Structure 1
Amino acid sequence: MATLPNPLPTLAADPSGRSLGLGLPLGRLIDETDDGPWHEPLLWHAEYSASSGAWTALGTPAARTGLLPVLIEVGGSQGGPDEWELMPGEMSYPGDHDPEELLAEYWAYAIEDPDDLDETIAPYDEAWPGPAPAPASLSIDPDRRAAETADALLDEGSWFKEPRLALVPARRSADIPAAIGWTGPMNFEGDTARICAVLRSWEDRFGIRVLALSFDRLVLSVAGPAHDESRGGGRRRRALRVLPGQHHPGGSRNSARVRRTRGAGAAGLVLLVGLTWWD
C-alpha cells in the first residue's frame, strides 16, 4: 500500500490553506495520541461550532485535496479528539480485510446464545445470512446525501453539543475512523480498520459516508433507497446486528437506529450507532 500524502502539515505554516486552494477558518491541528504526539497531524478541525452549509463550503473543496470532511463532537464528557486516546499506530489497512469474513465473524459474536434470539434479527437465525444485496441504483449521489444530512443534523439540534467540522487525510470516507486511529470500539475491536473494511463494503453498495464521530459514537449517512419495513426490514436488522458492540455479552444493548432527516427538500437516511457499551 502506497503512503497517502498528508496535506495537513501544510496548514501549520498556512493555517487558511490558501496554498491548497482552500479558505479555512480558525482551526487547530490534532496530533495527540494515547502514546504522545504523532509524527504528523491526524486531523484538522475548526475552532468554532459547525452550522448548516459548513460541510459543502469547507468539506467539498477540501476533499479535492485529499482531506475528507467529518463532523466531530468536542463538547462531550470525553472532550474533543485530542482527548480521545487515538491510536493510529495500532491500525492496519482497511483494504487488507475481507468484509464478508468480518461480517460473519461479528454475526457469530453477536449471537452467542441461539436460545436468546429475538425479533431484532427476524427472520434470520444464528446462521450468517450473508450480506444484503446492493440496490439496483442509489436514490441520490452519496456526497450530496452526506452534505444534506449534515445540514439537517446541524439544523435540527441533534445529539451534538459542540459540533466541529473536521478534515481528515483519507482515501475514502469509510477509512476516516482508522485514519485518525479512532478507538471507540476498543473494548470489542482493537483494530478499527476491520470495521472500516465493513464500512467500505457499505460505501460501495449503499453509498454510506462517515458523517460524524464522537469519542464513542459513529454516524453514517446512507444514499441507498429509503428503508421500507416490508422489503428492507431484514436488511436493516442485518446491518444493525453485525455492528460490533450491538450486543453486550451480559445482555446490555447499545443504541443503534435508523433515523430520517430532511434537508434541502429531500428525505435523508442516517444510521446512528451508539457505541457506549463496546465491552
Structure 2
Amino acid sequence: MIGTGSVEMAQRQPRRLPPELRGLFDDGGRDRVLSVDLPPGEVVWPDPTYVRWPSNRRAAFWLSDDPVTAELWTALRREHPRSGLWPVLMEDSVQPWSVGQVAPDAATEIDHFQVGAFMEEVWSDWIERATEDQMEMLDPYGPHCPGPADPAPVRCDPDDLADRYAAVLAERGMPLGLAAVTRGADALAVMGWQGAIHHNEWNVPLAAVVRSWEDRYAARLVGMGFNTLELTVAAPPATLQHALHIAAEHWTFCPDAIIQGAGSLIDYAHQIIDKPTWSFWWD
C-alpha cells in the first residue's frame, strides 16, 4: 500500500523564477513564477560530447544538492501549472547526471513518435532473433504485436496518488530534479535520462510511451535512477485480459522487467492487476 498523509508547506508570494531556472526554458521562462522556496542546488549541464543540438546548448535540469522531503515534491508538483517545472525524485549516489553525462532532447521531438509504431518495431526486431523458448515468453501473442492496449477507468486522483508515492520514495533519501516541461513524461527526453540506453539508444520514443500512459492510465512520473523509472498509475488494469495486453506494452518498453523478472507476459500480467505503481529497471 502507498502511504498517506501530507504536510502543507509555507509558501511565499509568487515570484519570477531565478535566472538559473529561467535558463531551462526555450523562451527564458517568460511569465513563469514560483511560490516555493528551493533548497540549495544547481543546474546540470550536459557534457559537450553528449549534446545533440550544439546550437541550442543549455542546462538540462536543476538538481538539489541534498535529499528532499516528500512535502517539497508535492508543493512543487502543485506549482507545475504556473512554474512549468516538473519535480522528479532522483536516485542518490554517484549517477551519470552528477558528472553531466546526460543527452537532452527537445520535447518537440517526442511528437514524432507513435506508441503503436514503436511497439511494432521492438516486437519485430525481437522476433527475428528469438528462439522457440523465447517466443513462449510472449504467449498468447507470439509473433503478432497486439498494439497499444485500451484505456482504463480512473480510480483516484492521479496527482494525490503521485504525492503519496513520492512520500514512499523520499524515505530513501533522494535529491530532487526540476525539468522545464509541459507534462511529466517529457522529462525523460528533456533531462537527457539515459537509463534504457542498452534497450533503446534514443529515449525520446520511451517518453512518447509514457505520454500515452499519462493519457490512457493517468500515469505520473515520480522518480528515476541510473536505470530505473517510478510511475504511479491511477487507472490500472482490473482484469487479467487487460493486464496481459498492457504487459505486452511494458515488454516493448522494458524487456528486462519480464525477461529477468516475471519470466512471461502472463506471469507479469498477474502482477500489475490493480497495481497503482509501475516500476521499471533496465540491465
TM range (shorter): 0.7 to 0.9
Partner of 2:244: 234
Listed as ranges, the matches of 1:62-81 within 5 Å are 62-75=80-93, 78-79=94-95, 81=97
Correspondent of 1:270 among 255, 277, 282: 277
* Structure 1 gap ranges (5+): 1-6, 261-266
Correspondent of 1:129 among 143, 146, 163: 146
Partner of 1:264: none
Cα distance change on mapping 1:81 and 1:25 into 2, 3 Å: same
- Distance in 2 between the 1:146 and 1:98 partners? 25
Residue 67 of structure 1 deviates from its aligned partner by 0.5
Q: What one-letter code is carried by the residue in structure 2 that aligns with 1:102?
A: F
- Distance in 2 between the 1:117 and 1:203 partners? 30
- Distance in 2 between the 1:271 and 1:164 partners? 20
3-state SS, counterpart of residue 125 of structure 1: coil
Q: Say whether 1:103 aligns with 2:119.
A: yes
Partner of 2:167: 151
User: Relative to structure 2, which stretch is displaced further, 32-41 or 96-105?
Assistant: 32-41
Residue 247 of structure 1 deviates from its aligned partner by 8.0
Listed as ranges, the matches of 1:25-40 within 5 Å are 25-33=39-47, 35=49, 39-40=57-58
3-state SS, counterpart of residue 121 of structure 2: helix
- Distance in 2 between the 1:206 and 1:269 partners? 10
Residue 42 of structure 1 deviates from its aligned partner by 1.4
Partner of 1:59: 77
Correspondent of 1:177 among 178, 188, 209: 188
For this pair of structures, how many residues does the alignment match?
248
Cα distance change on mapping 1:103 and 1:62 into 2, 3 Å: same
3-state SS, counterpart of residue 28 of structure 1: strand
Residue 123 of structure 1 deviates from its aligned partner by 2.5
Do 2:257 and 2:280's aligned partners in 1 also have CA atoms closer than 8 Å? no
Residue 86 of structure 1 deviates from its aligned partner by 0.6
More helix by share: 2
3-state SS, counterpart of residue 42 of structure 2: strand
- Distance in 2 between the 1:110 and 1:254 partners? 18
- Distance in 2 between the 1:63 and 1:34 partners? 31
> Which string of whole-angstrom CA distances, capped at 9 and with x for unpartnered residues, describes residues 29-55 of structure 1?
111335279832211122221233222
Identity %: 25
Q: What one-letter code is carried by the residue in structure 1 that aligns with 2:64?
A: A
> Which string of whole-angstrom CA distances, capped at 9 and with x for unpartnered residues, describes residues 205-231 of structure 1?
111122111121122111113x44634
Cα distance change on mapping 1:109 and 1:165 into 2, 3 Å: same
- Distance in 2 between the 1:55 and 1:194 partners? 26
Name the TM-score, length of structure 1 as normaliser.
0.75
